[in-house]
Copies of this chain bind each other. A is one copy, B any other.
Amino acid sequence: MKATVYVTIKQNVLDPQGSAVQGALHSMGFDEVGKVRIGKYLELELNTTDRAEAESRLKAMCEKLLANTVVEDYRFELEG
Residues of A with Cβ closer than 8 Å to B?
Answer: 6-8, 18, 21, 24-25, 28, 30, 32-48, 54, 57, 60-61, 64-66
Contact = CB atoms under 8 A, between A and B. Distances in A.
Contacts of A35: 43-45
Given A25-B61, A61-B25, A66-B21, A37 B30 contact: no
26 contacts: A6-B41, A8-B43, A21-B65, A21-B66, A25-B65, A30-B57, A30-B60, A30-B61, A32-B47, A32-B54, A33-B45, A33-B47, A33-B61, A34-B45, A34-B47, A35-B43, A35-B45, A36-B44, A37-B43, A38-B40, A38-B42, A38-B43, A39-B41, A39-B43, A40-B40, A40-B41
